[in-house]
Amino acid sequence: MSGSGGGGYVPPQRAKFDCDNGQVITTLSSVDLIVLKKLAVGVILEVEIGGNESLVVIDADGEIVGSIVHPSTSDIIECIKKGNHYEAEIVEINYPACKVKIKSIK
């Protein structure tokens, strides 16, 4: 029989994002609803470093759809600076939210 020893919960240490094989599924922040209305599930967006070292997703017209705020954001930015490239596939749109899957472009 297992049980609690009464100790506090210690969350596991976050693993560093794998530049080559890591994937992140997250909801975009600061979504531009005008740009989002032109998009659909399955659309592939570009992931780039924006102003102030932020991570943004951009549509085919070069417009910013939104930004990525995730525990792995700083790791992904470092990977991009080292020459890796990423795409964000729209997996769900539930206005005004947009969920994307970020993965490396091989």
The CATH number given to whatever domain includes residue 62 is 3.30.70.2330
pLDDT tens figures, 45-70: 999 999 888 999 999 999 999 999 99
* Number of domains within the chain: 1
- The contacts of residue 62 (CB under 8 Å, 6+ apart) are none
Does 41 fall in a domain?
A: yes
Does 5 fall in a domain?
A: no
Q: Which two tokens stand for residue 25?
A: 């599924």
Nearest to 98 by CA among 84, 88, 83, 86: 88
Give CA 101 to chain center in angstroms.
Answer: 7
pLDDT tens figures, 24-37: 999 999 999 999 99
Does 36 fall in a domain?
A: yes
Q: 18-29 as b/e, with b when 16 or more CB fall inside 10 Å?
A: ebeebebebebe
pTM tops 0.75: yes
Does 48 fall in a domain?
A: yes
Which domain does 73 fall in, by range?
A: 23-104
Q: Could you give the 3-state DSSP secondary structure of residue 11?
A: coil
